[in-house]
Structure 1
Amino acid sequence: MGYYMGNYARYNLRMFRPELFFLLISVFALITTACVIISMVLSIGTASILPRTFFEVVYHFIAFLLLCAASITLLVVLTDNRYRRDPNYEPKLAAAAMGLINSFLYLCSFIMAVRSWRVL
């Protein structure tokens, strides 16, 4: 997304904002998820305790909401007829679709986290 938005950000501020929002939320989710996975892989105690904590529930729910909102925002802006002539329309549409799929996966993780948290 960063590659495709860098070419014309000075000229088209209306399109730049949803792209930047999508990019920031995607990077937030990627970095936080990577930190959680790395800490689980490197520490056996963390791997056994962290899935049962309330952090997992809150994180997956917030990641679901933000990523879903960012993807829908980008899709709404892309459906405007002015942006269909953009040479980078298809990659941006694919990024928004993958963001929706990723948000659905965060929703599934949220549901599983709620179930494991309630078991305690």
Structure 2
Amino acid sequence: MPHQRSEVHPRPLEFLVLAEELAITRLDAGAPIPDRILAAGGFCSISRTNDELSIVCEAGLAAGMGTTERGWRAIKLVGPFAFNQTGILSSCLDPLARSGIGIFAVSTYDTDYILVKSCCLDAAVSSLQAAGHRRV
């Protein structure tokens, strides 16, 4: 099979900030996914491993579920991005790390989301813009 050449994504990236407050919940690996999560609209990410079930959802939906941390906001990188494009996340995560902003990353087929604590949102947006990225 021939080697496919990776394509470095040109800068700057465009991003937008989702309106809703999110929560990140950890449940036991074998726990069922709550029906209210499956039925909800809006942003939701479900990841199951041998160690845990992690759910990212609107904060109001997380009530009574496992270990939960609320107060997250999502920054959506405007895609779609091809799988062979490299440097997309690092072009955003490096400036955030230099600013001391912790993140929780979620990827989908088409794009990436960077979750930051609500109290850090303004600083995160400023850091991304200072790195040349554009809020849309």
TM-score, normalised to structure 1, is 0.21
Greater per-residue helix proportion: 1
Structure number with bigger Rg: 1
Greater per-residue strand proportion: 2
TM-score, normalised to structure 2, is 0.20
